[in-house]
């Protein structure tokens, strides 16, 4: 099937126009690009660089431990080295690399021109880069975090932790913002921007995994953000959340950290397995066996991974019944994990396997991961864990899981997908050499750690005496680490030097069937035209699809209006719904990331004024971003996208991608709020009288605040409805009234603990009440800004009864605000009265 | 006309029904156990009652999962078609959803039993 015959010259002109619209700026303005290909590459390269840096730190650790009584590193520097090694590997490599791969691959894999919020992707990258450099750079000033990658109080809240703890907390909070931004981008992209016809039963498995992982981020990262907030309030202002003397409890941090930390392991593991789910069918020469079973495994793992966090806390003295629930869930998660492995094995058995370099890394990764999984089943048992806790056995286990489950698959992905970057191939010989060095080196390094752990060697010691039977095991580990390092170095050489001499090869050298192999590395437009998909492996099953796409015979082959556009389709069946105009090259992402970064850096050094000014600048940048980049009223209602299909250019409410972005963001925000409420009830649970005999905020002010916030919510909903019905003036008045009511709510919220004289440094009860009230008040203030924003948009003619995306999204925000206010003020105002 | 099973809902969210039941069951078990042990007398002092409560909750959760599985089985055409369900049709998409939901119900069923099993063996709030 092909469109009406278009003269060749018209097609050439169409192509030139499309190229011009998607072109990157040149010179230093190149860095203002927001295109997914560039941002994905920057993201990936940066994460890779951080990984090499952390790898060098790992080698330093091994050098120090090579022989007993070694004095190569001082104890303090060793603390910084291993803390930063873990922190960088987890936060600056393992999670961001998957965001990088997803941003780079997903649009073409889904048959989209671009993800729905390219500026958000670029903002995420710049936040990640700035935060990462800040955290990594600290070690050159002897100021790196030195209390381990999970920052346990009371050590990390003590003076001994130094500024490194603040750098960890604030630097990583900043990076967590980037992860949440990526989650929003990926969920909306996968649900709403797939090529027409790509129903959910035809979606590439990579997209299934990424959808689950992005959902997990929404529920896993916010508890850590909430924990960081409490932690930093203690370090900066002496609010005693983790100070047992004043009613606090260090265990709360462990809960919040591991509610994040355990799902994070699967947030790291699933995308890597997703790469294998793309690579294995290609080299087995057949479709994956058990597509639905993979979906079962991904969703099942995603859920069960949230029931595991206490297995990191088996040795903290919780009731045995609690430990047992988590032990049971930890064993149960082996089922979906095993399903994934067996699906891969079945696919390989049913196909004719080509043992290419990517397959070597894939198989090596699976073998290593299975070993790590088996020791995982061991440490999930409470009695065994009590023996192995905080020993090198756990160090061995976690490296087997993460390096087998993440690093090797990432390398498999690098060798597999490299041709998509610039059409060149990685060297097969170097790749095989690197694989065997890495595989051998890895096992020589980490297998002996099982034994040193069982012989009682604790984690994180900077040296050890000679007569404990640990020396030769450690020496072997160090030798293995050097071999592993040589293997990794070979890959670095291949990427940076060797492949430059390579000629350009085929773009799809593996004869893969999924859509990402249609993309043209020299072009920026993602896909030349957006096809209709009818198979899980369209390049194999839909004859001539690639050439039809490249000839621009499918949808949206042009950019007549000079705008960057992609298609929005329905969630289940991917039926076309809208032409979405996405953001182009812009400074606003850089400015937003730089100002927000300055807020976090200034807070670290307690430069309050700089922090406040940067905060205002960030707010201004975001408002500018939204004002100029969202809710644009198109010059016409519909656009002809080719093949007789005409689609609207504007959508609001549940049909718009902006509404979904708000919904997803607020789910994450709600999870952070729920974590703070968890903190409140945690303190109630562990104390006989959790108020410590101190007065609460009373009932009057919290109830007044609640009433005002509910009224502000009602005004927002009324503004949306009246605007929709054409009563624009009334809608404007309601926006103003909503802002006033909301500000009144904020003041009443603060008045409760303020007037009753609650001092947050006295005891944990006033501190947790203050935190909840401040959380609600800040959200109320943001809500008021949104009211004023809608008022201004209406005045400026950018929001009309027909084009009401802004007020629809703000109303959605206020639904969440309503719930936040209801819970906050019921808890702080009414709960103490009910006791 | 009255039907044993409610009308079919076409949504992505139905996929998550059984795992959500698992999550709620897990949460109530954990919070219930923690509060019971940390706040003596608030939820009673007889550990046997906690075990019975968790047992009842487990039966409820399993019933809900079986119900979700029955709906999924219907969506899967009562097992009349075999996977892989990869045709580009609404019908195959529905069958795929039904099959995946059924598999997830099975996993959730097992996981709920796993969660409840400790109450068979643990008799007190020991640490």
Handedness of CA A822, A824, A825, A827 (dihedral sign): positive
At which residue do the structure tokens 């609640």 appear? A706
**Is B43 an interface residue toward A (CB < 8 Å)?**
no
**What DSSP character marks residue B42?**
B
Which residue of B86, B99, B118 is in closest CB contact with A328?
Answer: B118
Report the chain A residue with the minimal C-alpha distance to residue B101: A296
Q: Do domains A38-501 and A653-834 have the same CATH topology?
A: no
Which residues neighbour A9 within 8 Å (Cβ) at sequence distance 6 or greater? none
Question: What pTM value is reported for the model?
Answer: 0.93
Domain segments of chain A: what residues? 38-501, 653-834
**What DSSP character marks residue A310?**
G
**Is A324 an interface residue toward B (CB < 8 Å)?**
yes
* Interface with A, mutate which of B50, B79, B114, B117 (most A CBs under 10 A): B114
Contact A303 B23 (CB under 8 A): yes
Tell me what pLDDT residue A324 has: 94
Tell me what pLDDT residue B1 has: 56
Mean pLDDT of B98-117: 95
d(CA A311, CA A818) in angstroms, rounded, equals 35
Tell me what pLDDT residue A5 has: 47
Q: Taking Cα atoms as reference points, which of A583, A540, A510 lies closest to residue A118? A: A583
For domain A38-501, give the CATH superfamily.
Answer: Cytochrome c oxidase-like, subunit I domain (1.20.210.10)
Residue numbers in chain A where pLDDT is lower than 70:
1-8, 498-502
Which residues neighbour A41 within 8 Å (Cβ) at sequence distance 6 or greater? A100, A104, A421
ipTM of the complex: 0.93
Which residues in chain A have their CB less than 8 angstroms from residue B37's CB? 319, 321-322
Tell me what pLDDT residue A6 has: 53
Q: Taking Cα atoms as reference points, which of A173, A186, A188, A185 lies closest to residue A127? A: A173
**Is A287 an interface residue toward B (CB < 8 Å)?**
yes
d(CA A690, CA A832) in angstroms, rounded, equals 9
**Is A197 an interface residue toward B (CB < 8 Å)?**
yes
Handedness of CA A24, A29, A34, A36 (dihedral sign): positive
Domain segments of chain B: what residues? 16-121
d(CA A131, CA A184) in angstroms, rounded, equals 20
How near does any CA of chain B get to the CA of A235, in Å? 28
pLDDT tens per residue, range B68-83:
999 999 988 888 888 8
Contact B97 A201 (CB under 8 A): yes
Which residues in chain B have their CB less than 8 angstroms from residue A200's CB? 12, 93, 96-97
pLDDT tens per residue, range A477-516:
999 999 999 999 999 999 888 666 667 777 788 888 899 9
Which residues in chain A have their CB less than 8 angstroms from residue B97's CB? 200-201
Which residue of A201, A302, A329 is in closest CB contact with B26?
Answer: A329
Which top CATH class is A653-834? mainly alpha
Burial grade of A63 (CB within 10 A; 0-12, 13-18, 19 or more): middle
How near does any CA of chain A get to the CA of B89, in Å? 8
Tokens of A473: 């095991």
Query: What size, in residues, is chain B?
Result: 127
Tell me what pLDDT residue A2 has: 41
Tell me what pLDDT residue B126 has: 82
**Is B48 an interface residue toward A (CB < 8 Å)?**
no
Q: Which residues pair with A638 in a beta bridge?
A: A648
**Is A325 an interface residue toward B (CB < 8 Å)?**
yes
Tell me what pLDDT residue A4 has: 45
Is residue B97's pLDDT more than 60?
A: yes
d(CA A810, CA A833) in angstroms, rounded, equals 34
Which residues neighbour A254 within 8 Å (Cβ) at sequence distance 6 or greater? A152, A312, A313, A316
Q: Taking Cα atoms as reference points, which of A345, A334, A361, A600 lies closest to residue A491? A: A361
């Amino acid at each position: 099937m092909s469109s009406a015959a278009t003269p060749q010259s018209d097609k050439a002109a169409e192509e030139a126009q499309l190229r011009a619209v998607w072109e990157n700026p040149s010179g230093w303005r190149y860095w203002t690009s927001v295109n997914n290909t560039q941002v994905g590459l920057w993201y990936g390269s940066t994460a890779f660089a951080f990984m090499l840096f952390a790898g060098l730190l790992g080698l330093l650790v091994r050098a120090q431990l090579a022989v007993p009584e070694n004095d190569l590193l001082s104890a303090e520097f060793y603390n910084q080295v291993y803390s930063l090694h873990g922190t960088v590997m987890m936060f600056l490599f393992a999670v961001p690399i998957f965001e990088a791969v997803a941003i780079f691959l997903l649009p073409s894999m889904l048959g989209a021109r671009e993800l729905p919020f390219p500026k958000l992707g670029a903002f995420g990258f710049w936040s990640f880069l700035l935060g990462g450099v800040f955290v990594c750079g600290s070690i050159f000033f002897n100021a790196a975090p030195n209390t381990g990658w999970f920052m346990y109080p009371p050590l990390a809240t003590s003076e001994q932790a130094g500024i490194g703890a603040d750098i960890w907390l604030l630097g990583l909070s900043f990076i967590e913002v980037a992860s949440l931004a990526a989650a929003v981008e990926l969920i909306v992209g996968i649900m709403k921007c797939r090529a027409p016809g790509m129903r959910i039963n035809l979606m590439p498995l990579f997209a299934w995994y990424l959808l689950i992982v992005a959902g997990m981020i929404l529920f896993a990262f916010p508890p850590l953000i909430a924990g960081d907030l409490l932690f930093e309030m203690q370090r900066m202002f002496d609010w005693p959340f983790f100070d047992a003397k004043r009613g606090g409890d260090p265990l709360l941090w462990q809960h919040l950290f591991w509610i994040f930390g355990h799902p994070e392991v699967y947030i790291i593991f699933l995308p890597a397995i997703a790469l294998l789910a793309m690579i294995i069918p290609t080299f087995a020469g057949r479709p994956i066996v058990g597509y639905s079973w993979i979906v079962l495994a991904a969703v099942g793992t995603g859920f069960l991974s949230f029931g595991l966090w206490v297995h990191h806390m088996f040795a903290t003295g919780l009731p045995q019944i609690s430990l047992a629930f988590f032990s049971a869930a930890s064993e149960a998660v082996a089922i979906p994990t095993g399903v994934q492995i067996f699906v891969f094995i079945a696919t390989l058995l049913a196909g004719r396997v080509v043992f290419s370099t990517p397959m070597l890394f894939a198989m090596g990764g699976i073998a290593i991961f299975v070993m790590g999984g088996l020791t995982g089943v061991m440490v999930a048992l409470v009695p065994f864990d009590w023996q192995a806790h905080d020993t090198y056995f756990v160090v061995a286990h976690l490296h087997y899981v993460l390096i087998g489950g993440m690093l090797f698959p990432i390398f498999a992905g690098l060798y597999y997908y490299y041709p998509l970057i610039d059409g060149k191939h990685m060297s097969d010989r170097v790749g095989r050499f690197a694989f065997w060095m890495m595989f051998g080196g890895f096992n020589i390094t980490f297998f002996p750690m099982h034994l040193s752990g069982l012989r009682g060697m604790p984690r994180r010691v900077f040296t050890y005496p000679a007569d404990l039977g640990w020396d030769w095991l450690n020496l072997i580990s160090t030798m293995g680490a050097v071999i592993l390092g040589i293997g990794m170095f070979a890959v670095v050489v291949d990427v940076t030097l060797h492949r430059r001499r390579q000629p350009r090869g085929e773009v799809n050298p593996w004869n893969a069937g999924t859509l990402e192999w249609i993309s043209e590395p020299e072009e920026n437009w993602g896909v030349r035209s957006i096809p209709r998909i009818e198979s899980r492996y369209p390049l194999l099953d839909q004859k001539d699809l690639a050439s039809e796409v490249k000839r621009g015979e499918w949808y949206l082959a042009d950019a007549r209006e000079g705008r960057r556009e992609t298609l929005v389709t329905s969630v289940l069946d991917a039926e076309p719904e809208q032409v979405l105009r996405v953001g182009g090259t812009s400074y606003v992402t850089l400015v937003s990331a730089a100002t927000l970064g300055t807020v976090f850096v200034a807070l670290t050094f307690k430069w309050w004024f700089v922090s406040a000014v940067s905060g205002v600048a960030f707010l201004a940048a975001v408002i500018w971003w939204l004002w100029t980049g969202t809710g644009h009223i198109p010059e016409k209602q519909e656009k002809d996208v080719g093949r007789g299909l005409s689609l609207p250019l504007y959508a609001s409410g549940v049909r718009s991608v902006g509404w979904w972005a708000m919904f997803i963001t607020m789910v994450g925000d709600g999870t952070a709020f729920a974590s703070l409420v968890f903190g409140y009830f945690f303190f109630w649970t562990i104390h006989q009288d959790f108020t410590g005999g101190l007065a609460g905020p009373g009932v009057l002010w919290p109830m007044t605040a609640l009433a005002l916030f509910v009224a502000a919510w009602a005004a927002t909903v009324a503004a949306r409805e009246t605007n929709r019905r054409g009563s624009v003036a009334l809608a404007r008045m309601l926006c103003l009234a909503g802002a006033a009511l909301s500000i009144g709510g904020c003041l009443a919220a603060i008045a409760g603990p303020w007037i009753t004289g609650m001092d947050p440094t006295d005891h944990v009860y006033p501190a947790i009440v203050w935190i909840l009230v401040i959380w609600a008040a800040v959200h109320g203030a943001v809500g008021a800004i949104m009211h004023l924003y809608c008022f201004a948009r209406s005045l400026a003619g950018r929001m009309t009864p027909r084009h009401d995306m802004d007020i629809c999204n703000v109303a959605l925000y206020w639904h969440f605000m309503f719930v936040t206010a209801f819970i906050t003020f019921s808890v702080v105002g009414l709960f103490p009265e009910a006791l | 006309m009255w039907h044993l099973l409610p009308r079919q809902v076409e949504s992505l969210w139905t996929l998550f029904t059984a795992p959500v039941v698992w999550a709620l069951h897990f949460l109530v078990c954990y919070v219930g156990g923690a509060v019971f042990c940390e706040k003596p007398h608030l939820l009673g002092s007889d550990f046997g009652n906690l075990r019975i409560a968790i047992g009842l909750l487990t039966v409820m959760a399993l019933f809900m999962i079986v119900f979700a599985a029955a709906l999924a089985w219907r969506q899967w055409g009562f097992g009349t078609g075999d996977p892989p369900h990869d045709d580009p049709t609404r019908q195959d998409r529905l069958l795929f959803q039904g099959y995946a939901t059924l598999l997830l119900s099975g996993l959730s069923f097992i996981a709920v039993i796993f969660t409840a099993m400790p109450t068979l063996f643990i008799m007190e709030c020991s640490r």
